[in-house]
């Protein structure tokens, strides 16, 4: 090293960056999904694990393959495809055949995500749009439930005796006729109920959610406003003379609300970025969920609610633009009045 | 009542390398100093000495031409050149080069003032002006202009001891070692503004400085209040400090005086004390020499105009090849490529970052829309959208997102998980928007 030959870097400030990168954020999301996966394996048997593994592999393969064919830089290292793979299985019944899962993965990764430009460019949540696609294409397969329990660990018994006899607590009977399911609230909370792979245990999903909040990966505004909206509406308007609180609790713990509010609605790419926008978005998700549950053809509405709100994200960011620094409410009011006067004058 | 400023980040502080090291003089005075005629906001000064002139420490060598502050010789000796020389800003700048005679002969006008208590506010402002004091936190706004403009308008005076940039400990050591000077300066500034109380804001990572200053304030004296601030960057930014202390927000394009505030850096305050009480113009300052690539990190008192090469020599040279050499801190510092450039009135640190420390060389990935930038922007902006439109070169759209409010603190850039070069993109946008505005103005003038 001699004087005069040393090369100094010159770049725009700042010259340091946070240790947290895209990959570490995504890894945190994967970690936060592990508790829900564990309880799914416990209640639904090893199929929950193998189907998740296949789905992850398929998503990573499609992501890699698409970008390879189009000669783009590979993005599998950012782990976002892994999350899509896990989440897609989480919103499907455990009985769904492998080939169907792979079709869903293809739709999620290639159609929803890569055709729009890849990570950060898609305007719909890939996993949820994959589910919506499967729901429309294979409605019977997508609504075949099994009872949770040890029987699922013995495939012979699981497939012949128990399959299709289970039902999700959020059935047509419940939502449209107001019949409270036979699962206790405790079972609902722990996850000892029928349903999609990842949505059954509110407890495990909350553990994952708390992890994400503590690690600063997600902000609480969307999940809290989403869940609170559903809670308030179902508390005020119980169906068929059910107790307000009981009705509300079954609505909160049943179906995909926790999974949707904590993991799907908070998807970075498809949710608003401004504080006010996030709250509008969460409330919108909650309203649509309750509307679809109460008045829609499906007993469950979380996934469609989120997909519809996904499409509004940019609009909500516009509506939720932060107050300009240094502009007081009085100054805003004065500016508005001035604009009004000018408009009426011309 | 305690207020908060919105957003901000908390980068690794790295102050441990120098925060317990007392300020030392240079081992060896520089053989030559290069004093640029622009070390402040405003027009460059006009040199009033010629090659061959003998000068003494504190002798005025540059006079103001418009907005600015006069410039003084920082060593005694002979003027050997008056010519454009490399400047830390990147280009060349008219400079006075003085060959040091190592005698440090003071200018005859420098003398301890006995009648400090009888000086009128205007006299104090004039002394500050003639001493060439500019804001020593980095921006370098002439202090007498700020002070003069705030008389009668300001109801709050704030002294900035936040030093929120990582690595830098110059103000921290100053408050510990020259607490009397800082407080003396605070009292003088408060007196000029005719206010009953001044607030010094210091971040919680400098509690020893807080305690020291508190111990210097006599019991029952309520004219100086010290507020401990939770460490968070960019607390030391003028608008954020005002918001943190008073809850007021400086309007867009406005000045602190618009909300009745006047903010001075702790080092500026000490310089005011030196000028008024000791009669000394601003000719030297504390510089933190630090960073992973510096052999011997330290705080040093150096004459203004000391070439960077000399400061690096003082610190024992580089341990490893630095990736980047910065004047200032890692968040807003100015990268240097010519080591012949001199340190200036606003130079609080010379920072040599290693490859590992300057991790920003990571390549840009795609924006995730994670919104972290929005949540850390202390100016309530939405960097994610600003960047998106800037990439498409839609400058009017960027302007509609109030990009002109951006103070380039770098919080968004620091936190971005996709490592987008947000600040660079906003600088570009501001440049283009100013260009468009100038074009429009020229067109209107023609028509």
Tens digits of residue pLDDT in A273-329: 999 999 999 999 999 999 998 888 777 889 999 999 999 999 999 999 999 998 888
Tens digits of residue pLDDT in A69-104: 999 998 898 999 999 999 999 999 999 999 999 999
* Beta-carbon separation of A272 and B353 below 8 A: no
3-state secondary structure chain B: CCCCCCCCECCCCCHHHCCCCCCEECCCCCCEEEEECCCCCCCCCEECCCCCCEECECCEEEECCCCCCCEECCCCEEEEEEEEEECCCCCEEEEEEEEECCCCCECCCCCCCCCHHHCCHHHHHHHHHHCCCECCCCCCCEHHHHHHHHCCCCCEEEEEECCCCCCCCHHHHHHHHCHHHHHHHHHHHHHHHCCCCEEEEEEHHHHHHHHHHHHHCCCCCCCEEEEEECCCECCCCHHHHHHHHHCCCCCCCCCHHHHCEEEEEHHHHHHHHHHHHCCCCCCEEEEEEECCCECCCEEEEEECCCEHHHHHHHCCCECCCCCEEEECCCCCCEECCCCCCECCCCCCEEEEECCCCCHHHCCCCCCCCCCHHHHHCCCCCCHHHHHHHHHCCCHHHHHHCCHHHCCCCCHHHHHCCCCCCHHHHHHHHHHHHHHHHHHHHHHHHHC
Beta-carbon pairs below 8 A across chains A and B: 162
Encoded tokens for B156: 């709050």
pLDDT of residue B12 exceeding 90: yes
The ipTM estimated for the assembled molecules is 0.88
- B361 pLDDT band, cuts 50/70/90, is low
Is A10 part of the contact surface with chain B (CB cutoff 8 Å)?
A: yes
- A6 pLDDT band, cuts 50/70/90, is low
Chain A CB contacts of B378 below 8 Å: 325
* Beta-carbon separation of B366 and A118 below 8 A: yes
- A161 pLDDT band, cuts 50/70/90, is very low
Q: What pLDDT, on a 0 to 100 scale, did the predictor assign at position A328?
A: 83
> Could you tell me the pTM of the whole model?
0.90
Chain A CB contacts of B420 below 8 Å: none
Chain A CB contacts of B384 below 8 Å: 273
Could you tell me the CA-to-CA distances from A159 to A98, A153, A155, A166 in Å, in that order?
A: 15, 10, 6, 12
Task: Share the mean pLDDT of chain B.
Answer: 93
Encoded tokens for B366: 């795609």
* Beta-carbon separation of A120 and B367 below 8 A: yes
Q: What percent of chain B has pLDDT over 90?
A: 88
Angle formed at CA B39 by CA B36 and CA B43, multiple of 5 degrees: 95
B124-135 mean pLDDT = 95
Nearest residue in chain B measured CA to CA from A278 = B371
- A229 pLDDT band, cuts 50/70/90, is very high
Rounded Cα–Cα distance for residues A260 and A305 (Å): 9
Q: What pLDDT, on a 0 to 100 scale, did the predictor assign at position B110?
A: 93
B327-345 mean pLDDT = 93
pLDDT of residue A243 exceeding 90: no
In chain A, residues 156-185 whose CB comes closer than 8 Å to chain B: none
Among A253-267, B65-79, B357-371, the minimum mean pLDDT is found in: B357-371
Where do we find the tokens 């902006």? B381
Cβ-in-10-Å burial (0-12, 13-18, 19+) of B222 comes to exposed
pLDDT of residue B131 exceeding 60: yes
CA-CA-CA-CA torsion sign (B86, B90, B95, B98) = negative
Select the residue from B365, B385, B391 to test the A interface by mutation, using most A Cβ atoms within 10 A: B365
* Beta-carbon separation of B370 and A322 below 8 A: no
Where do we find the tokens 């050149």? B81
Rounded Cα–Cα distance for residues B274 and B305 (Å): 19
Helix (H, G, I), strand (E, B) or coil at A256: coil
Task: Share the mean pLDDT of chain A.
Answer: 89
φ and ψ of B227, to 5 deg: -110, 130
Chain B CB contacts of A267 below 8 Å: none
Helix B179-193 × helix B207-216 angle, to 10°? 70
Minimal CA separation from B348 to chain A, in Å? 16
Where do we find the tokens 């110059």? B170
Tens digits of residue pLDDT in B40-89: 989 999 999 999 999 999 999 999 988 999 999 999 999 999 999 999 98
Count CB atoms within 10 A of the CB of residue A343: 8
- A254 pLDDT band, cuts 50/70/90, is confident
* Beta-carbon separation of B380 and A324 below 8 A: yes
* Beta-carbon separation of B252 and A326 below 8 A: yes
In chain A, residues 20-49 whose CB comes closer than 8 Å to chain B: 20-22, 24-25
Tens digits of residue pLDDT in B375-402: 999 999 999 999 999 999 999 999 999 9
Is A200 part of the contact surface with chain B (CB cutoff 8 Å)?
A: no
Q: Are strands B92-100 and B77-86 parallel, antiparallel or unpaired?
A: antiparallel
Tens digits of residue pLDDT in A11-48: 888 999 998 999 999 999 999 999 999 999 999 989 99
Nearest residue in chain A measured CA to CA from B336 = A10
* Beta-carbon separation of A11 and B324 below 8 A: yes
Length of chain A: 346
Q: What pLDDT, on a 0 to 100 scale, did the predictor assign at position A162?
A: 45
């Amino acid at each position: 090293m001699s004087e005069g030959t040393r090369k100094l870097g010159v770049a725009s400030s700042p010259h340091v960056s946070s240790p947290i990168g895209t990959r570490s954020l995504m890894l945190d999301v994967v970690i936060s999904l592990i508790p829900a996966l564990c309880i799914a394996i416990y209640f639904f048997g090893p199929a929950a694990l193998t189907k998740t593994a296949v789905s992850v592999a398929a998503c990573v393969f499609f992501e890699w393959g698409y970008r390879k064919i189009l000669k783009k830089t590979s993005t599998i290292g950012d782990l976002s495809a892994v999350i899509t793979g896990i989440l897609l299985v989480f919103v499907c019944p455990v009985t769904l055949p492998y080939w169907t899962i792979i079709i869903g993965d293809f739709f999620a990764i290639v159609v929803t995500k890569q055709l729009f430009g890849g990570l950060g460019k898609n305007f719909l949540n890939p996993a949820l749009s994959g589910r919506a696609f499967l729901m429309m294409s294979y409605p019977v397969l997508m609504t075949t439930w099994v009872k949770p329990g040890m029987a699922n660990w013995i495939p012979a018994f699981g497939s012949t005796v128990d399959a299709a006899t289970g039902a999700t607590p959020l059935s047509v009977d419940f939502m449209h006729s107001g019949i409270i399911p036979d699962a206790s609230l405790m079972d609902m909370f722990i996850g000892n109920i029928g349903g999609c792979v990842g949505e059954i245990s509110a407890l495990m999903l909350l553990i994952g959610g708390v992890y994400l909040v503590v690690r600063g990966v997600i902000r609480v505004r969307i999940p809290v406003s989403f869940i609170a909206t559903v809670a308030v509406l179902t508390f005020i308007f119980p169906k068929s003379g059910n107790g307000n609180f009981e009705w509300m609790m079954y609505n909160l713990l049943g179906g995909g609300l926790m999974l949707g509010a904590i993991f799907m609605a908070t998807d970075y790419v498809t949710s608003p970025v401004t504080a006010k926008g996030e709250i509008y978005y969460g409330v919108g998700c909650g309203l649509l969920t309750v509307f679809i549950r109460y008045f829609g053809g499906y007993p469950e509405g979380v996934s469609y609610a989120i997909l519809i709100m996904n499409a509004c994200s940019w609009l909500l960011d516009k509506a939720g633009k932060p107050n300009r620094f240094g502009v007081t409410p009085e100054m805003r009011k004065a500016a508005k009045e001035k604009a009004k006067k000018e408009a009426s004058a011309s | 009542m305690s207020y908060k400023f919105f957003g901000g980040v908390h980068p690794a502080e790295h102050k441990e390398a120098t925060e317990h090291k007392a300020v030392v003089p240079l081992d060896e005075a520089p053989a030559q100093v290069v004093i640029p005629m622009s070390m402040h906001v405003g027009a460059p000064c006009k040199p009033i000495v010629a090659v061959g002139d003998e000068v003494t420490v504190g002798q005025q060598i540059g006079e103001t031409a418009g907005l600015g502050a006069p410039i003084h010789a920082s060593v005694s000796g002979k003027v050997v050149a008056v010519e454009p020389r490399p400047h830390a800003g990147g280009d060349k700048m008219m400079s006075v080069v003085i060959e040091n005679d190592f005698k440090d002969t003071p200018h005859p006008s420098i003398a301890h003032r006995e009648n400090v208590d009888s000086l009128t506010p205007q006299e104090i402002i004039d002394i500050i002006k003639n001493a060439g004091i500019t804001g020593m936190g980095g921006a370098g706004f002439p202090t007498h202009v700020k002070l003069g403009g705030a008389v009668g308008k300001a109801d709050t005076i704030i002294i900035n001891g936040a030093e929120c940039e990582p690595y830098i400990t110059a103000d921290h050591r100053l408050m510990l070692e020259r607490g009397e000077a800082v407080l003396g300066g605070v009292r003088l500034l408060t007196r000029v503004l005719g206010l009953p109380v001044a607030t010094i804001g210091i971040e919680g990572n400098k509690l020893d400085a807080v305690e020291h200053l508190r111990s210097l304030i006599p019991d029952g004296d309520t004219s100086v209040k010290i507020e401990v601030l939770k460490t968070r960057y960019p607390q030391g930014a003028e608008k954020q400090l005002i918001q943190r202390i008073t809850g007021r927000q400086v309007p867009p394009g406005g000045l602190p005086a618009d909300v009745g505030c006047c903010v001075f850096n702790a080092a500026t305050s000490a310089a005011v004390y030196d000028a008024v009480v000791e009669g000394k113009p601003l000719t030297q300052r504390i510089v933190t020499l630090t960073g992973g690539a510096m052999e011997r990190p330290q705080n040093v008192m150096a004459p203004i105009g000391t070439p960077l090469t000399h400061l690096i020599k003082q610190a024992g040279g580089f341990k490893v090849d630095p990736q980047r050499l910065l004047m200032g801190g890692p968040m807003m510092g100015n990268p240097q490529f010519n080591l012949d450039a001199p340190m200036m009135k606003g130079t609080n640190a010379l920072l040599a970052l290693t490859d590992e420390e300057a991790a920003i060389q990571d390549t840009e990935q795609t924006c995730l829309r994670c919104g972290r930038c929005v949540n850390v922007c202390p100016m309530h902006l939405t960097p994610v959208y600003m960047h998106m439109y800037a990439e498409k070169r839609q400058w009017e759209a960027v302007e509609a997102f109030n990009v002109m409010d951006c103070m380039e603190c770098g919080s968004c850039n620091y936190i971005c998980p996709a490592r987008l070069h947000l600040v660079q993109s906003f600088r570009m946008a501001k440049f283009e928007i100013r260009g468009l505005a100038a074009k429009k103005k020229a067109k209107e003038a023609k028509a």
